[in-house]
Chains A and B, each alone.
Chain A
Amino acid sequence: MPRYPKPAEGSWTQHYAHLDIEPISFEDSVSPEWYKLEKEAIFKRAWLKVGRVEEIPRTGSYFTKEIAAADTSIIVVRDGEDVRAFHNICRHRGNKLVWNDFPREETSGTARQFVCKYHGWRYGLDGACTFAQQEGEFFDLDKADYGLVPVHCDTFAGFIFVNFAPEPSQSLREFLGPMLLGIEDYPFGEMTDRYSFKVECRSNWKVFADAFLEFYHAPVVHVGQHPVHLRAMINQNGYEAPHYQLDGPHGVVTTAGSLHRGWEMPPENVKPADIATRSGLFGPWDHSDLGELPPGINPGKIHPWGLSSFQFFPNFAVLIWESGWYNTHQFWPTSHNTLLFEGNVYSLPAKSASDRVGREMAAVSFKEYSLQDANTLEATQLGIEAGVIDQWPLNDQEVLVRHFHHGAKEWVRNYQREKV
């Protein structure tokens, strides 16, 4: 018997008519040709989250972002209330405009203008070319024709998104849809204590994201994060989510909080370090008071609520936790079988040292389980790439995995249809 009620159709998967229940192919995760299509169809057409507004607090604050999946680097810069994005390319001879020491690495800072390191051309924060070295040597050069190439840029809840399409087919808000818009009023902007992480992994970006779309693996891969005497029980119980929801290409999974309320559990079932620091995997036990929260963060109205993991198609996730903090995952492909995995943990500014210790416990837990995931997913990629098998059964707790691959394929097919 399921622990939580399923939709009337009998399963979350069958609740959504566009999904079938057949085994699926992961050919989309091993093929260099398919990855080339995904770059054009998805990464050059979908809205991609590239940062947060707090990263560029003042006029002239900027960061660069390397986006291999769109074959480019961008500059994201604040100019007053506006956040703008440009291709990071000098219009004179193509030199990458903003970089330091290492041409392929990202950088950030504050500038009044951008000056090319090659021949000294200058650009304002609005992208306009303001100076060409020895302008008189050129032939009828009109600087107005040589501004930086803009990239469509918009913000949602303080998250900065870009879109590389010449004309995006949807606005950012249309693309996100009502389910994701429902978390807009969460106080993301107040959560400025940030722990950030990064690693390069050898797996396809979707195979990697798949592990963050389901918690079916948690009682196996991560069972070791529980006290020894509980592991067999947790493993045997497996995982069930009380709520899944899909909206367009996006999705959410909610986890109940019952297993992780350390302050309600008998002490022998809690790690001694959690008791000592009053924190753990699910964050500090003394919850941050965030005031009234938007109902959209717990769309299934689950109690006790643990967390909701919102999947922003194609490569971003926001996990909002009961104890008053959030973290993000992002999966940036660098080839058909490699990616950059970025993680961030965000909280309200700590008011005291013990606040900090609680957040440190959450951030360390995040790293320990992320390491377990990252290494496992390289192993998964190897198994799929062997090419021995091409049909893989997915269960109902993996509905977001099925939906994600389905959505990514749809984007590629739509792109192919439009090209014809």
Chain B
Amino acid sequence: MLPSQFAELERFAPTWCLATENERWNQRMSSSMDELRELYDATLPRVPEAMAYCDKFALDDLPEDAVNLLRLVYSFVLVSFAVELWGQTYPPDTRGTDFVRLSEPLP
């Protein structure tokens, strides 16, 4: 699913290359902290390189493997809050509410 130079991230691709924030949020909420840390630790050092790879293409004409890579970086961004800040999947003291993303630019 991903460009070959990101082969070591391929194992995350089926779970985390998700098109919308809604899907990524649901995946974060239904994952364990160990799973989130695994994604975070593996992806963090490759993020600048992944962004540079995607930047080689026009944003509206990304090849499929670059779209997947971009979606994986989006998942990294979302998961980073759980790992770096909260130490749990959801922000503390927010279980009584939600804030649904209705629309977003794609990809």
Q: Which residues of A contact B (CB under 8 A)?
A: 193-199, 201, 224-225, 227, 271-273, 276-277, 341, 343, 349-357, 359-361, 363-365, 367-368, 370-372, 374-376, 378
Q: Interface code B76-94, partner A: CB below 8 Å = 1, 0 otherwise?
A: 1110110011100011111
12 A/B residue pairs, CB under 8 Å, sorted by A: A196-B104, A224-B92, A349-B105, A352-B54, A352-B55, A356-B59, A356-B107, A360-B77, A363-B101, A368-B91, A371-B91, A374-B99
Does A351 contact B97, Cβ atoms closer than 8 Å? Answer: no
A271, B54: Cβ atoms under 8 Å?
no
Closest to A378 in B: B96
The answer to whether A199 and B99 touch (CB under 8 A), given A357-B73, A360-B77, is yes
The answer to whether the Cβ of B44 comes within 8 Å of any Cβ in the partner chain is: yes
When chains A and B are docked, how far (Å) is the Cα of A197 from the Cα of B73? 21
Residues of B within 8 A of A371 (CB): 90-91, 94, 97-99
Q: Which of B44, B59, B98 is close to A352, meaning CB atoms less than 8 Å apart? A: B59
Taken together as a complex, chains A and B put the C-alpha atoms of A351 and B20 apart, in Å, by 19
Chain A residue at minimal CB-CB distance from B80: A273
Q: What residue of chain B has the Cβ atom nearest to residue A195's Cβ? A: B104
Least CB distance, A299 to chain B, in whole angstroms: 30
Binds A, one of B2-10, B11-19, B45-53: B45-53
Task: Say whether A271 contacts B80, CB under 8 Å.
Answer: yes
Query: Residues of A contacting B96 with CB < 8 Å?
Result: 375, 378
Least CB distance from A203 to B in Å reads: 10
Tell me whether B51 and A273 are in contact (CB under 8 A). Answer: no
Q: Provide the bound-state CA to CA distance between A365 and B70, in Å.
A: 18
- A368 CA to B86 CA in the complex, in Å? 11
Rank and list the top 6 A-B pairs by shortest CB-CB distance, nearest first: A353-B54, A273-B80, A276-B47, A354-B51, A371-B94, A374-B97
Q: Given A271-B84, A368-B91, A376-B93, does the pair A195, B101 have CB atoms closer than 8 Å?
A: yes
Question: Which residue in chain B gives the minimum CB-CB distance to A225?
Answer: B85
Partner among A227, A272, A343, A349 whose Cβ is within 8 Å of the Cβ of B99: A343
B residues adjacent to A (C-beta < 8 A): 21, 44, 47-48, 51-52, 54-55, 57, 59, 62, 66, 70, 73-74, 76-78, 80-81, 84-86, 90-105, 107
In angstroms, Cα B73 to Cα A196, docked, is: 20
Q: How far is B47's CA from A271's CA once the two chains are assembled, in angstroms?
A: 14
Could you say which residues of chain A place their CB within 8 Å of the CB of B99? 197-199, 341, 343, 367, 370-371, 374
Q: How many A-B residue pairs have CB under 8 A?
A: 122
Q: By the criterion CB–CB under 8 Å, are A273 and B104 in contact?
A: no
Selected from B77, B86, B100, the residue in CB contact (under 8 A) with A277 is: B77
Closest to B25 in A: A367
The residue in chain A whose Cβ has the minimal distance to the Cβ of B48 is A276
Contact pick for A375, options B21, B44, B62, B94, CB 8 Å: B94
Tell me, rounded to whole Å, the shortest Cβ–Cβ distance linking A296 to chain B: 28
Contact residues in B for A341 (Cβ distance below 8 Å)? 99
Quick check: A201 and B97 within 8 Å, CB to CB? yes
A276 touches B74 (CB 8 A): no
Known contacts A224-B85, A224-B91, A367-B99: A195-B105 contact under CB 8 Å: yes
- Residues on B with beta carbons closer than 8 Å to the beta carbon of A196: 101-104
**Residue from B84, B92, B105 with most neighbouring chain A CB atoms (10 Å):** B105
Additional 12 contacts, C-beta under 8 A, given A353-B59, A375-B97: A198-B100, A224-B91, A224-B92, A225-B85, A271-B84, A273-B81, A276-B48, A352-B54, A354-B52, A372-B91, A375-B95, A376-B93
Whole-angstrom distance between the Cβ of B77 and the nearest chain A Cβ: 5
Q: Which residues of B contact A277 (CB under 8 A)?
A: 47, 51, 73, 77
Nearest opposing residue in chain A for B40, CB measure: A273
Partner of B77, one of A201, A355, A361: A361
